[in-house]
Chain A
Amino acid sequence: IAGITQAPTSQILAAGRRMTLRCTQDMRHNAMYWYRQDLGLGLRLIHYSNTAGTTGKGEVPDGYSVSRANTDDFPLTLASAVPSQTSVYFCASSPGQGDTGELFFGEGSRLTVL
């Protein structure tokens, strides 16, 4: 059982480049999320999707975009990367909209923007 698969696991990127982080889940969960984790700041929500075809903005959405064409995939795109986007990015999902407070996380994508 794979759960949530993220790719790439690690990437070094030049500032100004476009980057898409991929996230795929095989649990048929309705809701999906993207968080970034920075030292001392915990996990901050970037974007979310309650169901296929819908997306919403989280706490720190600027500079990021998402799409949800189907239930399984939820890619995160950095249109023009900046050094402040250096972070570890976690994709997560939940069966409903997080009613039980339980999210299932991927292993993360470590992104360095130079």
Chain B
Amino acid sequence: GQSLEQPSEVTAVEGAIVQINCTYQTSGFYGLSWYQQHDGGAPTFLSYNGLDGLEETGRFSSFLSRSDSYGYLLLQELQMKDSASYFCAVRPLWKDYKLSFGAGTTVTVRA
């Protein structure tokens, strides 16, 4: 099976940097994805790491290390609009390859 662990809450000020860690226990997976969700609305895709290393998309970056069973989402130059929940998800080699999500991290950005 697989289990994804992320911190439940993170608080930071505008302009700061936040790193959301995602550790996992799984027998194997294709890649690690990250999603953002505002106020219980539709989750939206942020990034995907199919290979180890860093993927950068504007102010957001995502990292994967399969050897360490670990990944993270890095939010830079935090803005108020970044206040949201962030979910990591893996696409396991079993379960017909469907995405399995972590419980989510609520990020609160303060002025």
Contacts and interface: CB of A to CB of B under 8 A. Distances in A.
Contact of B103 (A33, A40, A98): A40
Interface residues of A, number: 29
Contact of A42 (B30, B96, B104): B104
Contacts of B44: 105
Q: How big is chain B's contact interface, by range? A: 20 to 34
Interface in B88-111: 89, 91, 95-104
Contacts of B87: 42-43
Contacts of A12: none
A37 B104 CA distance: 11
Contacts, number: 67
Interface in B57-96: 87, 89, 91, 95-96
Contact of A41 (B33, B89, B91, B103): B103
Given A42-B103, A98-B91, A102-B33, 10 more contacts: A33-B99, A35-B101, A43-B101, A59-B95, A90-B42, A97-B97, A100-B50, A101-B32, A101-B91, A108-B42
10 contacts: A43-B43, A43-B87, A43-B101, A58-B98, A90-B42, A101-B30, A102-B33, A102-B48, A108-B40, A108-B41
Interface of B: 8, 30-33, 40-45, 48, 50, 87, 89, 91, 95-104
